[in-house]
Chains A and B, each alone.
Chain A
């Protein structure tokens, strides 16, 4: 992020200066007619946005108040009179002063209190009524959209075609066959009317398969065509189309509405994802049925839910009460679908209420009161309390309710941003980060730091010890215990202090417990053993949760209840139970069911919070790959001197972040690849000159992240792989047969250099060529769940590409049944799974295979490969084929059944076990069973051994 700030900094200064100049010029113009109020408004608006983005709250507030003043002017609520112009000029001057400070000091300037008060006074002054109606110039810059070139024709076409298209969509017909001429007619009209959005939608509709996505396209089309009706007063047939849709979708809407209470139940607990999906469904139904008021209301509800989901809005209070009501409202409409009148009033009222409730939440109507209540009970600094928003207060009050320890921590983020991040990570994983805000300490050595308010479920002593362990250095952290007022008497040392460099910031009596602040440099260091233990614990928790979830979600609760009832009835056939007994039984059962449901709900929430925890835990282990790359320049320099080469090393992507555990594993292979490149790849300057290349060779090492995959490339511009020599060497070493050698292409030959015991170097050198290098590289990368590829152009160079997952420990596996055992296959090696009727099995030269999209796929039964079963499928049955690739070859692994696709935490297993062919690791499944996770590479080896020759393996094309 700090790089980004460096980039944004000049842009921020330039833009702010530009707008301040424009404001000065614009404001001093003599007559009201010449002033472009909109431009003035936008300048303050842009300044506000920029300051907010950079985090300069005290600049932002001035720009904000000024913006509001001008907004009132452009809305015609007040006049831009001399007093206002003076005030705004003063604001401009103030912002200029602040900008100069910011430019020099790079931190939020001190608040311009007087200026702010003056502007606020202007804002609260009774608004001078505009003398005349607002001049045209002050209307917001909203050029109206041009009408389509041929709107009437478009409307005609829509009226003729839309209802039929809608009907066809609804009864799930393929459109291209049933209504092609309607689609074409409407599309032509849309082209003529210059309405490319409609053209795109119609083409999308024609191509889409029946289903929700197609309905969504239809809703979009209908809504866009409705623009012709709203703006041009034309009839585009949307109501006609909607009638058919209403008839058909009504029962669906009813059914969805019924789900509202259950699915919005978790709202106050912050579980909103399911609510969002529900409202999205309702919204689509309402859009298709053209229920404009429902649509408006639901859009609003959806937006509110998203804001809650994003954490911008707390899920509490009136809002949470209103949302289910609003969402269920379309159900009311179904009772009298045609009488829209009272319904739209209800919608509008609810929409208003939602907006108001949201606004109150955001603006914190009752915040001051709640802050005061906290301050009465706890020793929290006033500045910290003042910076709390509603969400932070919610968190704070919840933490107080849990009797957690409240602390304020002040950290100098400027001199140690890594330290800051480590601190934030620790705070997040250990407790609740209630709020953070920047603190400005004026004076000669003016500093700015961040102050965090944190709630932690541990005694204060533990907090201070943990921080001391985290941060072995004095000048960056200050810790303040927000003691409960009633506890102060009992605990005289209310605060622990503090940096000697900043006595002003030290609070409390500083009684010498400086454990929290003692050390030497600017980085926070966490013991890596502690991090590993933590990550492992999280992994265990995930597994335990899976076990619990498995137990909870077995459907047999209901079955068992039924069975119990049946038994009872049989037992009591002679003496039927009394009504009271029956009633009691019923209550027992329903209480049981309710408890079960509660557990299931708790489990769902636990899942969400655990997966967040897991993400955060894994993020703790992340470091830049520079830790690996930093060792390379020295090696390149030493080696090229030793070997008499001229080499320039280009390193890029060193900022890519990788799992800490990968640093050690990657270091050796990277060193080897670089050595290999210089020793074997790069020619001597004389050879290069003779080949017409520059004497200085380029060895480039780069890293990049693609999705969850880390890609590392080592490329040289040397002589490239000598395929003839590779072929000869592999033959000589008995790695391939004569017949293999004849048919192998560059790609297969390239793979050979990774085989154990292969070396093409003519001589054994100091640095490489002992034939123990490349296979070690490959083994290491495979350990990380990755792949190595080599590409080479004779005379032009060689590129090694390493691909590996960024987080190796937790992975998805395909769980399969084979020969009566369950085994896991890592999903990243699997390209697809399909079912194969036994009748379609073929055999070529004794090798089982089948046709997959016209290409022969060799098949290996998993149990046979692993040596614990026979492949004897019953005639007429079918098997599942898991298609795997190692990047070069593709094989099909035959199993009886694919059982599932769990996410597992891969554990180390006993080293002897790993030596078993095919085994990569083990994990514990949800039901507690241990499952062996297979290793793709080793499966391929087994397959090769089973194959008659390499030729039966097919290349991936």
Chain B
């Protein structure tokens, strides 16, 4: 077996994940954008205010990850997910204050190809929560590794 070990410094130098933020609230866009920007390994490539803008920007910017709100004017998050099926290759993470299981919109979003669902950041003033939510959001953007084990039973 030939082992190839790369130092962690090398790993950090890989191209950053390109992120598009979609939310009709400028406050929320700002907050999420800030979390994304502060992570060294992510690049914020754009912000869209609704689903239609998001479709345009996704086509133009080719992001790797889209952070998508559900409640938006013109075209909402679920409508965007439907349209994205054939047009947007990015991984889509729903970031919504509707994010609570049992909410039909969330089950629907998962069925429409959203890869993860997260609540919006909250409680910035109490220091603590923003940090944990920020961490959860970043972990979700970076994505879990591909499932490791072999899919077929070994002989």
In the complex, whether A153 has a CB less than 8 A from a CB of chain B is no
A252 touches B153 (CB 8 A): yes
Pick the contact of B87: A41, A194, A284, A300 (CB < 8 A).
A194
For residue A46, which residue of chain B has the nearest CB?
Answer: B25
| Complex contacts, B113 vs chain A, CB 8 Å | 223-224
A227–B107 CA distance with the chains assembled, in angstroms:
17
In the complex, whether B43 has a CB less than 8 A from a CB of chain A is no
- Contact pattern, B 105-131, Cβ under 8 Å of A = 1, otherwise 0: 011001101001111111111111111
Residue from B101, B111, B123, B126 having most chain A Cβ neighbours under 10 A? B101
Q: How large is the interface on B (under 10, 10 to 19, 20 to 34, 35 or more residues)?
A: 35 or more
Pick the contact of B5: A223, A252, A833 (CB < 8 A).
A833
Q: Whole-angstrom distance from the CB of A319 to the nearest CB of chain B? A: 10
* A117-125, A355-363, A504-512, A587-595: which lies at the interface: A355-363
A50 touches B28 (CB 8 A): yes
For residue B55, which residue of chain A has the nearest CB?
Answer: A145
A15 touches B128 (CB 8 A): no
- Given contacts A7-B30, A7-B34, are A55 and B152 in contact (CB under 8 A)? no
B89 touches A898 (CB 8 A): no
| Complex contacts, B119 vs chain A, CB 8 Å | 312
- Given contacts A53-B122, A142-B78, are A277 and B4 in contact (CB under 8 A)? no
For residue B11, which residue of chain A has the nearest CB?
Answer: A707
For residue A148, which residue of chain B has the nearest CB?
Answer: B86
B5 touches A45 (CB 8 A): no
Total number of A-B contacts with CB less than 8 angstroms?
Answer: 254
In the complex, whether A863 has a CB less than 8 A from a CB of chain B is no
Q: Whole-angstrom distance from the CB of A353 to the nearest CB of chain B? A: 11
In the complex, whether A901 has a CB less than 8 A from a CB of chain B is yes
- Contact pattern, B 64-82, Cβ under 8 Å of A = 1, otherwise 0: 0000000111111011001
- Contact pattern, A 802-836, Cβ under 8 Å of B = 1, otherwise 0: 01000000001010000000000001111111110
A832–B132 CA distance with the chains assembled, in angstroms:
35
A355 touches B101 (CB 8 A): yes
Pick the contact of B110: A256, A299, A828 (CB < 8 A).
A299
A195 touches B86 (CB 8 A): yes
- Contact pattern, A 426-438, Cβ under 8 Å of B = 1, otherwise 0: 0000000000111
In the complex, whether A329 has a CB less than 8 A from a CB of chain B is no
In the complex, whether B17 has a CB less than 8 A from a CB of chain A is no
A42 touches B73 (CB 8 A): yes
A255 touches B153 (CB 8 A): yes
Q: Whole-angstrom distance from the CB of B72 to the nearest CB of chain A? A: 7
- Contact pattern, B 2-24, Cβ under 8 Å of A = 1, otherwise 0: 11111111111000000000001
In the complex, whether A627 has a CB less than 8 A from a CB of chain B is no
Q: Whole-angstrom distance from the CB of B135 to the nearest CB of chain A? A: 9
B124 touches A359 (CB 8 A): no
Q: Whole-angstrom distance from the CB of A650 to the nearest CB of chain B? A: 22
Pick the contact of B7: A201, A303, A829 (CB < 8 A).
A829
A197–B88 CA distance with the chains assembled, in angstroms:
5
- Given contacts A142-B75, A705-B40, are A438 and B144 in contact (CB under 8 A)? no
A324–B5 CA distance with the chains assembled, in angstroms:
37
In the complex, whether A1 has a CB less than 8 A from a CB of chain B is yes
A359–B9 CA distance with the chains assembled, in angstroms:
43
A404–B107 CA distance with the chains assembled, in angstroms:
40
B8 touches A708 (CB 8 A): yes
Task: Count contacts on A: residues with CB < 8 A to the other chain.
Answer: 111
In the complex, whether A281 has a CB less than 8 A from a CB of chain B is yes
| Complex contacts, A706 vs chain B, CB 8 Å | 12, 40
Q: Which A residues, 345 to 398, have Cβ-Cβ distances below 8 Å to chain B?
A: 351, 354-356, 358-359, 362
Pick the contact of B107: A45, A145, A300 (CB < 8 A).
A300
In the complex, whether B59 has a CB less than 8 A from a CB of chain A is yes
For residue B140, which residue of chain A has the nearest CB?
Answer: A306
| Complex contacts, A827 vs chain B, CB 8 Å | 5, 7-8
For residue A151, which residue of chain B has the nearest CB?
Answer: B86
- Given contacts A5-B125, A142-B76, are A276 and B144 in contact (CB under 8 A)? yes
For residue A227, which residue of chain B has the nearest CB?
Answer: B85
| Complex contacts, A576 vs chain B, CB 8 Å | none
Interface residues of B (CB under 8 A from A): 1-12, 24-28, 30-31, 34, 40-41, 51-52, 59, 71-76, 78-79, 82-89, 97, 100-102, 106-107, 110-111, 113, 116-132, 136, 140, 144, 146-153
Interface residues of A (CB under 8 A from B): 1, 4-5, 7-8, 11-12, 14-15, 38-39, 41-42, 45-46, 48-50, 52-56, 107-108, 140-146, 148, 190, 193-198, 200-201, 212-213, 215-216, 223-224, 227, 231, 248-249, 251-252, 254-256, 276-277, 280-281, 283-285, 288, 296, 299-300, 303-304, 306-307, 310-312, 351, 354-356, 358-359, 362, 413, 417, 420-421, 424, 436-438, 450, 705-709, 803, 812, 814, 827-835, 880, 898, 901
Q: List 10 A-B contacts (CB under 8 A).
A: A8-B30, A14-B26, A48-B97, A50-B25, A310-B132, A707-B8, A812-B8, A827-B5, A831-B10, A834-B3
